[in-house]
Structure formats: structure tokens, C-alpha cells
Amino acid sequence: MSPKAMARPGGRSARVQEAVHAAVRELEAEQGRASLTVPAVAARAGVTPSTVYRRWGDLHELLSDVAVERLRPEEPPADHGSLHTDLESWARQFLDEMASPSGRAYIRDALLGDPDGSNAGQCSAYAADQIEVILARARGRGETVPDVDVEAVVDHVVAPMMYRILFRPGQLTVSYADHLVRAVLTSPVSPD
Amino acid sequence: MSPKAMARPGGRSARVQEAVHAAVRELEAEQGRASLTVPAVAARAGVTPSTVYRRWGDLHELLSDVAVERLRPEEPPADHGSLHTDLESWARQFLDEMASPSGRAYIRDALLGDPDGSNAGQCSAYAADQIEVILARARGRGETVPDVDVEAVVDHVVAPMMYRILFRPGQLTVSYADHLVRAVLTSPVSPD
């Protein structure tokens, strides 16, 4: 979410945001991505184009905010009873969602209209938070957790998957996710 | 380079490409990024706007091709006499260049106007080729090279740096690059 959007939480501001986000989702679903212009989104949301420009700057920044909302995990990672299975299951799901056509489009939107990097940072924080839940749960179970922390999982599981999604789209398989998880748990790398 | 651009190598086609790429670089240097429009670029290059649209589709695709050209390494990685030093030196330079404002802008451009992923793939291939040179040189010296291949270095050195550049821009230090290189050489992860 851009600083502009965060500067006015609640009340009318929150209603405008919700209406504009919903207008983007609806127009895209009904008429495709090419239909997304600031005037069209504003008309659907029942606000003036200048309201949209004032708040989001331009269409790219609006689409970035909408993308980050869509990339927000809806629930905590599933509990399968062990660190390895939880992390593997989470990594598979992450790869599946982010490598899908819509996942790629959201990542691209999030990165694009993000002059200060806060939306990209939020995407990364979503992943880190989910990993933190998985690691804390393993410790809570009394599992012997290898010397691995959130940073190591971000660096050696999330980052390689995201790099392939963005730069080498042909090489994404479930076994790749499984391999990365196995490697980080068996030869963990200290964060520094 | 987009398939459209690759479909007509040589002759007039090559001259048009060079003129248009040069026009982008000049206009950006002289008047800033906001000055880059297809009509302005075409005028500077001495071609019609329809020539640009026919060949590149739109401004984003043109900027993506220009960015990939700029991200092409100009020379093989420096030879410092050992695998560790060569790889560390290369990783530091990669991080320094890619994390710079212009490096980030090129990465973003390359990813953006790249509907088929070929330009992003080319960026990744540039890095992989440089790493291959470093590994082959170490073997040629008779060094004992740990069980590490290009894929492992891309996954565990390049990908984490690129992830931070794109998603967590505040956490980029030389020691981070050094740490990733040390880790991949001392606890190498098999590619699968």
C-alpha cells in the first residue's frame, strides 16, 4: 500500500479505497485487463478520476496496491504435524499460486507501480510471516528444529522460486520446491 | 530481445535497431525518462513511429530490449586466481551494479515489457554464463572445486541477491554477497 493510501485510513477514505479496488477487480474480470483505465475504474467506483489520481498517482500505483491485497495470504499455513511437511506444503502452494498466470500478473503489478518499494516489501513480509508461523509451531511441538531461521528460508527457498518465476519461467516443478525445502533443512545456512 | 526484433537481423533491420536503441539512450540521458515516448524516440532515430510499433509493439517492449542490451556483461569475470575470490568478486560486482538506481531501472524495464519472458531469460543467462566461466576456470587451474554447479550458484547466490534487490531493497551489503558465496562453496546444495 502506498504511503498516500496509508495516510488516510478509515471513514470515507476506507470506503473509497474499497470501492476503487472492487472496481478494478470487477472490470478486469468482466472486460479484461485492457479495460483498466483510471476514468473507467473511477466511473465504476462512483468517484471522480481526480480522486483516483490524487490518491494513487497513476494507474500503475493503483494496480500495485490491488495486487498486494490479492497476494495477502488468507489464512495461516496448514498444520501437517511436522516442520518438514509444513514447509514443503507451504512452498508447493506458494510456487503454485505465484507461478500461475494471475500470480505472475500480481507480482508484476506489485513491483511495477511501486516507486518506494513498500508494496514489494509487503509481499516479502507476507511470505516471511507465514514461514515464521511454521517455524514457531515446530518449536512449540517440541520438534528438533535445525539451525534455520526465517532469513535462511527466504534466501534459499522463497528467493530461488521467485527468481525462476520472474527470470526462468520454464523450470518450475513441485520437485524443485521440495528440493529447496529439503536442502535448507538438511544443510542450513546461517544468516550471517 | 523480442522475437519480433530477432526475426529480421542484419541490413536495414540492424541499422534501425541500433538507431532506435541509441535514440532511447540519448533521450533518456538528455531529457530524462519521462521524455521517452514512441513518437519522440522515432523522431530522434529518424524512423516513423509505425516502424517502432511494428517492430516492438509498444514502448515497454522497446525499453525491455534496450535494458537487456545494457545488462549484457561487457567482459568475462575478472581472474583473481581462485574460485572463492573470483566468485566473491563477481557477486559483489553483480550486487553493486544491479542494486544501483540504473541497474534497478533496467531490471524493471527488462521484466516489464517482456510478454514471453525471453528478455528475463536472457538476463538470467548472462549471469549463468559468467558463473560457468568462473567454475570452468577453477577446474582448469586444477583447483579442488566443491560439489557446486551453475544451478546451485544461481539458486543460492544470484537469486537471493535479486530477491532482495526487487523485494527488500534495504538489506543489500557487500557482506551479504560474501556470505552467500561462502555458504554455497562450503555447504553446497546438489541441484536436485
Among chain A residues, the shortest Cα distance to B177 is held by: A192
Neighbouring CB atoms inside 10 A of A127's CB total 25
Residue A39 lies in a domain: yes
pLDDT for residue A158 is more than 90: yes
| pLDDT on residue B29 | 92
Do A156 and B160 count as a contact with CB atoms less than 8 A apart?
yes
Please check whether residues B149 and B99 belong to one and the same domain: yes
Sequence-separated (6 or more) residues with CB below 8 Å from residue B62: B20, B24, B38, B41, B52, B56, B113
Residues B84 and B159 grouped into a single domain: yes
Whether residue A38 is contained in a domain is answered as yes
Residue A192 forms part of a structural domain: no
Q: Read off the pLDDT band of A167 (50, 70, 90).
A: very high
Residue B127 lies in a domain: yes
Whether residue A5 is predicted with pLDDT greater than 80 in this model: the reply is no
Same structural domain, A50 and A124:
no
B138 — phi, psi (to 5°)?
-65, -45
> Contact, A165 vs A98, CB < 8 A?
yes
Which residue in chain B is spatially nearest to A127 when comparing CA positions? B167
How does DSSP assign chain A, residue by residue?
A: --HHHHTS-SHHHHHHHHHHHHHHHHHHHHH-GGG--HHHHHHHHTS-HHHHHHHHSSHHHHHHHHHHHHHS-SSPPP--SSHHHHHHHHHHHHHHHHHSHHHHHHHHHHHHT-TTSHHHHHHHHHHHHHHHHHHHHHHHHT----S--HHHHIIIIIHHHHHHHHH-TT---HHHHHHHHHHHHHS-----
Domain assignment present for residue A69? The answer is no
Q: What percent of chain A has pLDDT over 70?
A: 92
C-alpha cell at A76: 495461516
B93/B42 same-domain check: no
* B111, closest residue in chain A (CA to CA): A166
Burial call A64-83: b when 16+ CB within 10 Å, e when fewer = bbbbbbbbeeeeebeeeeeb
- Averaged pLDDT of chain A: 89
Interface mutation vs chain B, best among A129, A131, A163, A186, most B CBs within 10 Å: A163
Residues A36 and A98 grouped into a single domain: no
CA angle B191, B99, B185 (to 5 degrees): 30
What span, in angstroms and rounded, lies between the C-alpha atoms of A87 and A100? 20
Q: Which of B105, B26, B21 is nearest to B55 (CA)?
A: B21
pLDDT of B152 reads 94
- Residues A44, A82, single domain; the answer is no
Per-residue confidence (pLDDT) for residue B131, from 0 to 100:
97
Q: Are residue B51 and residue B83 in the same domain, yes or no? A: no
Provide the residue count of chain B. Answer: 192
Instruction: Give A146's Cβ-side CA count (13 Å radius).
Output: 17
Asked if A163 lies within 8 A of B159 by C-beta distance, the reply is: yes
Distance CA A188, CA A181 (A): 10
Say whether pLDDT at A190 is over 80. no
> What is the pLDDT, as a whole number, of residue B9?
55
Residue B172: CATH number of its domain: 1.10.357.10
In a domain, B65, yes or no: no
- Nearest C-alpha in B relative to A168: B121
CA distance A26 to A111: 22
Is the interface score ipTM higher than 0.90? Answer: no
Is the residue at B32 inside a domain? yes
Which set of grid coordinates corresponds to residue A15?
470506503
In this predicted model, what pLDDT tens digit does every residue of A39-69 receive, in sequence order? 999 999 999 999 999 999 999 999 999 999 9
B110 shares its domain with B168: yes
Contact (Cβ atoms closer than 8 angstroms) between residue A132 and residue A145? no
Structural domains counted in chain A = 2
Residue B68 maps to a domain: no
C-alpha cell of A125? 513480509
pLDDT band at A9 (very low <50, low <70, confident <90, very high): low
Supply φ then ψ for residue B19, to 5 degrees.
-65, -40
Indicate if A52 and A81 belong to the same structural domain: no
Angle between helices B101-112 and B83-99 (to 10 degrees): 80
Partner-chain contact A156 B156, CB within 8 Å: yes
Residue where the block lists cell 524495464: B109
Q: Which residues from A are below 8 Å from B192, CB to CB?
A: 175-176, 179
Same structural domain, A83 and A158:
yes
Cell of B137: 576456470
How many CB atoms sit inside 10 A of residue A56's CB? 23
Residue B48 belongs to domain spanning: 3-57
The confidence score (pLDDT) of residue A112 equals 85
> Residue-wise pLDDT tens for chain B (192 aa)?
444 445 455 688 889 999 999 999 999 999 988 889 999 999 999 999 999 999 999 999 999 999 999 999 999 999 999 999 999 999 999 999 999 988 998 999 999 888 788 899 999 999 999 999 999 999 999 998 888 899 999 999 999 999 999 999 777 899 999 999 999 998 755 544
Question: What is the spatial distance between Cα B30 and Cα A31, in angstroms, rounded to a whole number?
Answer: 39
Same domain, B123 and B177: yes
Question: B154 in contact with A at a CB cutoff of 8 Å?
Answer: yes
Q: Which of residues 113-132 of A touch B (CB under 8 A)?
A: 117, 120-121, 123-124
Widest distance between CA atoms in chain B? 57
What pLDDT, on the 0 to 100 scale, is given for residue A4?
A: 47
Residue A2's pLDDT is 47
Check whether residue B78 and residue B41 sit in a common domain. no
* Set of chain A residues whose Cβ sits within 8 Å of the Cβ of B183: 189-190
d(CA A117, CA B74): 29
| CB-based contact, A160 to chain B, within 8 Å | yes
CA dist A95 and A88 (Å) reads: 11
Q: Is B45 left (phi over 0), alpha (psi -120 to 50) or beta?
A: alpha
More confidently predicted of A3 and A119: A119
Q: How confident is the model at residue A10 (pLDDT cuts 50, 70, 90)?
A: low
Contact indicator for B53, B38 with CB cutoff of 8 Å: yes
Q: Domain of B25: which CATH number?
A: 1.10.10.60
Look at residue A179 in the predicted model and tell me its pLDDT: 95
Closest CA to B146 of B187, B102, B96: B187
